[in-house]
A and B are shown apart, each in its own frame.
Chain A
Amino acid sequence: MTLRHMTLAAALLGATALGAQAQDLRIGLESDPDVLDPDQSRTFVGRIVYTALCDKLVDVTPDLKIVPQLATEWSFSDDNTSITMKLREGVTFHDGTPFDAEAVARNIDRSLTLEESRRKSELASVAGTEVLGDHEIRIDLKEPDATVLAQLADRAGMMVSPDAAEAAGADFGANPVCSGPFKFKERVAQDRIVLEKFDDYWNADEIALDSVTYLPITDTTVRLANLQSGDIDIANRVAATDLKQLEGSDSIDIEQAVSLGYQGITFNVGNGDKGDNPWGNDARLRRALSLAIGRDIINQVVFDGNFRPGNQPFPDTSPWYDADYPLPERDVEAARALLEEAGYGDGVALEVQVPNRPENLQLMQVIQSMASEAGIDVSLTSKEFATMLNDQTAGDFTASQVGWSGRIDPDGNIHQFVTTGAGLNDAGYSNEEVDRLLNEARTLADEGERKALYDQARAILQEEAPIVYLYHDTWITGLDKSVEGFVPYPDGMIRLEGVTLNAD
């Protein structure tokens, strides 16, 4: 090693200090976003770029309240089958096209009709739009749907310049034109996405940065090293286990927010022939496993205590969390008793498929050892993620360690996973009462009434346990000390309003 260092030092001799930091905010992302068209894209990191590039009709606050962005006010009709929105005046797209009700109508139409659109399912309940004035529009729904508003706070609500979109068609992503605080400058695949300040932004006073560059840096260690060496100003998704080494750092700040998603174990209870096994047939086994797991222990051992242990689709920081059912204590005796009752007093085997990432493997190894104390012999089959997902959809699994990135509206975190025949119901779970409760919940605009229904569904799902919830990720963002004004959000987005870069 010493010799290597000497050679290197010699090679570097004469290398001058690196250039001073520009007035450009550099953000390290965990992967390269896909196509930059809000209607076509599907990656989480893509949404981070849109936060600076494309304004939405509505936005959310850190505590998940829907607030105005391009729409200044809105109201549901009495039967919840339409939303009337007043739109912000004096807004222009990056190409100078004025933003008005007509533009909104064309945007929603594009989301619904573009062949390549990935937004169709999110806006499935939208029947059409009616322009009521220059800056007033009504969105008509096929059926009462309270979840639409939250969809409009994400990609489905992002407004692109209708003319530019029409001209470019499916190639819009090569040169996206929106109305956000920053406009698109250039993109080099797998290297960088550069946005520069849009001078005519309606809220320009809040924007202090001249430009922002997104750099995909896949490896967590390298991303953090870039932050430590000053090559980037913000590192997205710092590893929970790296926080200890950053304690007391005088150059790096850490901000955290509990995410909207969850990680858990999904059982095959009725997805094809493989669902016909003790674990798929007997909820007592699944509950026994849940009881055998110490969720706090997992958090301590695998994530250095930085994530959020969980037992529901929503974290306890969410307004939708059912506080009457707090995190259960680990109870090996109760787990054993349940197994005994189910006729497996001598122990039972369980095969769990798990993505071949270190974090997931560690998680399952901890669970493996905790489960063995209760007499459950867990074996792990590690698979590359795409493969695992394939097998899961096809029903070729007994249990799967899988998660969900989370949505703002509670419906998006539960409905599609447990209602009969739903798109992501890989468990093959079906229960009429759960279907009824969750189908009704999505039609209600009143949060109190909705929550009551989710709580009822939760009670059933708790007994039947097609999904055993384990924990909720925390978005951990690393910031150079020169970055000020950053606010962490549970949706994991990096919002640049009020963010400044102080020369140091």
Chain B
Amino acid sequence: MLSFILRRILIAIPTILLISVFVFSLQKLLPGDPVLAMAGEERDPEVIAFLREKYRLNDPIPVQYAHWVGNAVRGDLGMSLRTNQPVLELIGEKLPVTIQLATMAMIFAMGIGIPAGILSAVRKGTVTDYVANVVALSGLSIPNFWLGIMLILLVSVKWQLLPASGYVPFADDPWRSVQVMLMPAFVLGTALAATLMRHTRSAMLTVLTSDYVRTARAKGLSERRVILKHAFRNALTPIVTLSALLFGELIAGAVLTEQIFTIPGFGKLVVDAVFNRDYAVVQGIVLVTAVGFIVMNLLADVAYVLLNPRLRSQT
């Protein structure tokens, strides 16, 4: 098991390097000059020259990259061009916000998606199945930003039930923090719930027709026990893979959701950074996200092994 994890980590290193090269080059290909954006409306040539020098933007791009990697290895991701804050500090500030959003969204997604998937598999072909499918399909096809704005208009403006946007740190006021996050988490969660539901349904359908389920039924076990204990546990493997992969979608969705609900998280940070050509911040965020994604996949692999004893011998 340990060697398996170690091997996976070793593979991850070149992946992360590759990603960082890719993003670094992509950013440099982006039209628009960060210094021009920073110099303000006046675009004073003296200021522009000073900033270019200060942020080493006059160096050749490979030199800039080497410099960045050198610092990053030592834990220094540079300074935000816009606010003069260290990138690592910014990320540290924003990460908990997005993690809270992602966790709450995942709770919504799993809480809705998995039971709905089981239900529609067990009651295949009935009205329940169709309704669940229609809802899932609309979950997938309704754009986040539209649903978000509709919810704000309805829940906050019309009914005045929840704050329209913003963020309260969990440590400051847990109840209010959860309240503020409910709508965005719901919006982010619904799209994922739909995907989860569809996959749970198909995994369950496959498992439910297998021999051991028939055997379990033949033994006279209650239907509830058959479904939850025997069938669902085996259907879980693909669902766990999917949940890990959904992490990426969650981060991508957070970008949009945070923008709508003005949540000062990771997603908003990266969008603002891209528009302000705040290279150091974009680069730092991509690195952290890539690492996060790889870790999530690693965890998923470990979880398979724990869930499915047959895989243990192969590791």
Contact = CB atoms under 8 A, between A and B. Distances in A.
B165 A225 contact: yes
Interface of B: 30-33, 36-47, 50, 54, 82-85, 90, 93-94, 112, 135, 147, 149, 151-157, 160-167, 176, 179, 182, 186, 190, 259-262, 264, 268-269, 272, 275-277
Contacts of A7: 112, 186
A12 interface: yes
A189 interface: yes
Q: Is the interface of B mostly helix, strand, loop or mixed?
A: helix
Contacts of A174: 84-85
Contacts of A8: 151, 155, 186
Contacts of A170: 84
A8 B186 CA distance: 8
A170 B83 CA distance: 11
Contacts of B44: 118, 120-121, 423
A118 B39 contact: yes
A121 B36 CA distance: 15
A387 interface: yes
Interface of A: 3-5, 7-8, 11-12, 15, 17-19, 32, 34-35, 42-43, 115-118, 120-122, 170-171, 173-174, 188-191, 215-219, 221-222, 225-226, 228-231, 383-384, 386-387, 389-391, 393, 404-405, 416, 423-424
Contacts, number: 158
Contacts of A34: 82-83
Given A226-B164, A386-B32, A116 B50 contact: yes
A312 B119 CA distance: 68
B193 to A, nearest CB: 10
B31 A390 contact: yes
Contact of A12 (B31, B182, B262, B264): B182
Given A12-B182, A393-B43, 17 more contacts: A7-B112, A11-B186, A12-B161, A15-B162, A35-B83, A42-B38, A118-B42, A121-B44, A173-B84, A174-B84, A189-B83, A190-B264, A225-B153, A231-B163, A231-B166, A416-B42, A424-B43
B85 A189 contact: yes
A424 to B, nearest CB: 7
A7 B269 CA distance: 30
A405 B42 CA distance: 11
B32 A387 contact: yes
Choose among B149, B152, B165, B264 the residue with the greatest number of A CB atoms under 10 Å from its CB.
B165
A290 to B, nearest CB: 24
CB-based closest 10 A-B pairs: A42-B40, A386-B32, A191-B264, A229-B156, A387-B31, A190-B264, A387-B32, A121-B44, A228-B157, A226-B164
A221 B90 contact: no
Contact of A120 (B46, B165, B272): B46
